[in-house]
């Protein structure tokens, strides 16, 4: 199969043009993110998801004659917050344009969008790429071209009646942010990392709930291929993807489709395609329209959008700590590895939980417990962290019990399971159920003696190969129900075996 190379992790020697059959994939994403706001972009109608069809529709949304749009200031503030979160230039003056096209679920006959002068200009999103051959991850900056505000369209429903189609205008006029990346993405993994990171930033900011299955966030994926060193090839756009996994699959399929055509001496038609997750293929939907087909012009019903730098600064000062800053703090102040830090900051709820566990404790130990025990168990149990049956205080208590030497790490895992199932105070559980670690050397010594006496052959072997001492430690731990202090066992075993 033709190899798609990730230019960031591959060996640079392979980039001599024409030297191999390798191809490079070029990807740019247009993400539509629904603005978190109670009301629509230009009307006071509700944005609630899942309402009765056509129950959240004002006269403005239905485009009744004589109705005028009125900008919703909260949507503007959300777009500015998002721009700031993407380290982007905020344009103090932007313009709403009409993008003209006909669709049954677009009663105005045009979409109000921003074309030449968007509210947000260039920014960046940092993604983590890897692992490379050495197992390292590298930060890569993906450019953001722009972010603009626009109205969402309604929904046509073709599956409700044998001979009629229905239209639901609840979504009509809901505010969207279209966030357009530069063609900086080089593999399906990077595209998935980009969407994941963008969603995380939007959720931290509270500007979009990022719920892709409900359609609050969806992506148009632009794909082209080239031989390394060549200029950009013709792109195809795969529309309306609402799953990160499918985005990855669609890119892989589409890149290979284009390569097969080019290797056959053909050329790529610029077109809009759809991904069929059942067949795992993209198929042509229509040839790509150009901007001039839409007859964009400034909407005469709306003044240009203008605000002051002081307004922007005010919003900036209220921004929460974002994932990159949190990750840097977890690494520098709490001693976490960059990898553990990025696992924890990916979801704000996980980071918040971790910080409560780590409060006044060793950060690394707390991170270990949250990542390896809690997150694993939540996943296994298909439970959200907000519904976790075990609280940060309870895990903190376990960490303290280990640190004090009251229980071993192994016993702590058993206590974790008990607290998960039954609740309760970990210290009390350890006390009541006699789970305390045995630190009494006399008792441990007796257990060591017993194992040594019962295994003379192993003793002879261990005298020649001291690393076999570990086997005795394991046996003693087993015979004491895991309650013996492992350091004490190890010391005694070595002493008695004379290794």
Token look-up 């016993």 returns: 411
The option from ligand ADP, Mg ion, none interacting with 57 (CB < 5 to 8 A, set by class) reads none
The option from Mg ion, ligand ADP, none interacting with 27 (CB < 5 to 8 A, set by class) reads ligand ADP
Least distance (Å) from ligand ADP to the CB of residue 289?
8
CB nearer to ligand ADP: pick between 85 and 233 = 233
Least distance (Å) from ligand ADP to the CB of residue 183?
4
Which residue from 498, 496, 384, 389 is spatially nearest to 451, judged by alpha carbons? 496
Sites for ligand ADP among residues 52-81 (CB under 6 A): none
Single out the residue of 107, 183, 338, 389 in contact with ligand ADP (rule: CB under 6 A). 183
Q: Where are the beta strands (DSSP E) in 182-280?
A: 217-226, 236-241, 271-276
CB nearer to Mg ion: pick between 29 and 435 = 29
Residue 186 · residue 7 · CB < 8 Å = yes
Single out the residue of 62, 180, 261, 499 in contact with ligand ADP (rule: CB under 6 A). 180
CB nearer to ligand ADP: pick between 286 and 433 = 286
Instruction: Specify the 3-state DSSP secondary structure of 120.
Output: strand
CB nearer to ligand ADP: pick between 24 and 355 = 24
CB nearer to ligand ADP: pick between 237 and 252 = 237
CB nearer to Mg ion: pick between 6 and 30 = 30
Stretch that binds ligand ADP, among 42-50, 176-184, 244-252, 338-346 (CB under 6 A): 176-184
The option from ligand ADP, Mg ion, none interacting with 389 (CB < 5 to 8 A, set by class) reads none
Residue 181 binds ligand ADP (CB under 6 A): yes
Q: Kindly give, in sequence order, each residue whose CB lies less than 8 Å from that of residue 495, ignoring residues fewer than 6 positions away.
A: none
Side-chain half-sphere exposure of 399, counting CA atoms within 13 A: 24
Alpha carbon 425 to chain centroid, angstroms: 34
The option from Mg ion, ligand ADP, none interacting with 182 (CB < 5 to 8 A, set by class) reads ligand ADP
Single out the residue of 4, 5, 10, 26 in contact with ligand ADP (rule: CB under 6 A). 26
Residue 30 binds ligand ADP (CB under 6 A): yes
Beta bridge partners of residue 120, listed in sequence order: 90, 147
Single out the residue of 27, 144, 169, 175 in contact with ligand ADP (rule: CB under 6 A). 27
CA distance 336 to 357: 14
Quote the Cα angle for 36-41-47, to 5°: 50
The option from ligand ADP, Mg ion, none interacting with 329 (CB < 5 to 8 A, set by class) reads none
Instruction: Specify the 3-state DSSP secondary structure of 329.
Output: helix
CA distance 181 to 200: 16
Which residue from 327, 386, 395 is spatially nearest to 366, judged by alpha carbons? 395
Length of the chain: 499
Sites for ligand ADP among residues 184-243 (CB under 6 A): 222-224, 232-233, 235, 237
> What's phi and psi for 403, nearest 5 deg?
-60, -40
Token look-up 């795992």 returns: 280
CA distance 214 to 218: 9
CA distance 35 to 79: 8
Least distance (Å) from ligand ADP to the CB of residue 27?
6
The option from ligand ADP, Mg ion, none interacting with 117 (CB < 5 to 8 A, set by class) reads none
CB nearer to ligand ADP: pick between 107 and 183 = 183
Single out the residue of 4, 5, 10, 29 in contact with ligand ADP (rule: CB under 6 A). 29
Stretch that binds ligand ADP, among 81-89, 177-185, 330-338, 344-352 (CB under 6 A): 177-185
Alpha carbon 301 to chain centroid, angstroms: 38
CB nearer to Mg ion: pick between 30 and 414 = 30
Least distance (Å) from ligand ADP to the CB of residue 5?
16
Phi-psi region of 106 (alpha: psi -120 to 50; beta: other; left: phi over 0): beta
CB nearer to ligand ADP: pick between 25 and 312 = 25
Quote the Cα angle for 208-209-213, to 5°: 120
CA distance 86 to 77: 14
Instruction: Specify the 3-state DSSP secondary structure of 117.
Output: coil
Least distance (Å) from ligand ADP to the CB of residue 223?
6
CA distance 142 to 65: 44
Residue 202 · residue 40 · CB < 8 Å = no
CB nearer to ligand ADP: pick between 10 and 225 = 225
CA distance 9 to 277: 28
CB nearer to Mg ion: pick between 25 and 462 = 25
Least distance (Å) from Mg ion to the CB of residue 175?
18
Q: State the DSSP H helix or E strand holding residue 452, giving kind and residue range, or none if neither.
A: helix 441-454
Least distance (Å) from Mg ion to the CB of residue 396?
49
- What is the number of the residue whose Cβ is closest to ligand ADP? 28
Q: State the DSSP H helix or E strand holding residue 139, giving kind and residue range, or none if neither.
A: strand 138-151
Cα distances (Å, whole numbers) of residue 426 to 430, 431, 439: 6, 9, 19
Least distance (Å) from ligand ADP to the CB of residue 222?
3
CB nearer to ligand ADP: pick between 53 and 183 = 183
Q: Total binding residues for ligand ADP by CB under 6 A?
A: 16
Annotate each residue in 30-49 with x if it binds Mg ion (CB under 5 A) or - if it does not, as one string: x-------------------
List residues binding ligand ADP (CB under 6 A): 26-30, 180-183, 222-224, 232-233, 235, 237
List residues binding Mg ion (CB under 5 A): 30
């Amino acid at each position: 199969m033709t190899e798609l190379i990730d230019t960031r992790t591959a060996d640079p020697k392979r980039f001599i043009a024409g030297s191999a059959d390798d191809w490079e994939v070029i990807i740019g994403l247009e993400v539509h993110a629904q603005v978190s706001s109670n009301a629509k972009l230009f009307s006071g109608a509700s944005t609630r998801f899942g309402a009765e069809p056509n129950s959240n529709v004002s006269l403005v949304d239905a485009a009744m004659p004589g109705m005028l749009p009125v900008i919703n200031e909260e949507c503007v503030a959300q777009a500015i917050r998002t721009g700031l979160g993407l380290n982007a230039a905020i344009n103090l003056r932007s313009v709403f344009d009409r993008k003209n096209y006909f669709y049954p679920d677009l009663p105005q006959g045009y979409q109000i969008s921003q074309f030449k002068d968007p509210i947000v200009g260039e920014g960046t999103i940092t993604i983590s790429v890897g692992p490379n051959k050495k197992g390292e991850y590298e930060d890569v900056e993906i450019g953001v071209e722009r972010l603009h505000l626009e109205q969402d369209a309604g929904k046509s429903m073709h599956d409700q009646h044998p001979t009629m189609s229905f239209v639901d205008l609840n979504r009509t006029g809901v505010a969207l942010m279209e966030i357009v990346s530069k063609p900086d993405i080089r593999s399906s993994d990077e595209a998935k990392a980009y969407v994941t990171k963008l969603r995380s930033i939007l959720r931290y900011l509270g500007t979009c709930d990022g719920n892709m299955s409900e359609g609050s966030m969806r992506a148009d994926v632009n794909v082209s291929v080239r031989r390394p060193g060549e200029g950009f090839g013709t792109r195809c756009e795969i529309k309306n993807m609402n799953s990160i996994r499918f985005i990855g699959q669609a890119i892989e399929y589409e890149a290979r489709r284009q390569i097969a055509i080019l290797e056959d001496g053909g050329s790529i038609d610029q077109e809009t395609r759809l991904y069929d997750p059942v067949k795992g293929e993209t198929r042509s939907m229509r040839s790509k329209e150009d901007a001039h087909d839409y007859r964009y012009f400034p909407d005469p019903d709306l003044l240009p959008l203008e605000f002051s730098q002081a307004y922007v600064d005010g919003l900036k000062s209220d921004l929460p700590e974002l994932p990159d800053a949190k990750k840097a703090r977890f690494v520098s102040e709490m001693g976490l590895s960059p990898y553990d830090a990025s696992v924890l900051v990916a979801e704000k709820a996980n980071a918040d939980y971790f910080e409560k566990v780590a409060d006044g404790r060793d950060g690394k130990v707390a991170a270990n417990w949250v990542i390896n025990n809690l997150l694993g168990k939540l996943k296994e149990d298909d439970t959200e962290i907000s519904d976790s049956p075990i609280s940060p205080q309870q895990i903190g208590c376990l960490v303290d019990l280990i640190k004090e030497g009251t229980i071993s790490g192994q016993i702590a895992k058993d206590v974790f399971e008990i607290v998960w199932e039954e609740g309760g105070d970990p210290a009390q559980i350890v006390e009541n159920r006699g789970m305390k670690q045995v630190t009494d050397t006399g008792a441990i010594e007796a257990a060591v003696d017993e194992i040594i006496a019962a295994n003379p052959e192993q003793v002879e072997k261990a005298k020649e190969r001291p690393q076999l001492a570990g086997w005795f430690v394991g046996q003693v731990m087993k015979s004491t129900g895991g309650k013996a202090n492992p350091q004490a066992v190890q010391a005694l075993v070595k002493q008695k075996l004379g290794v």
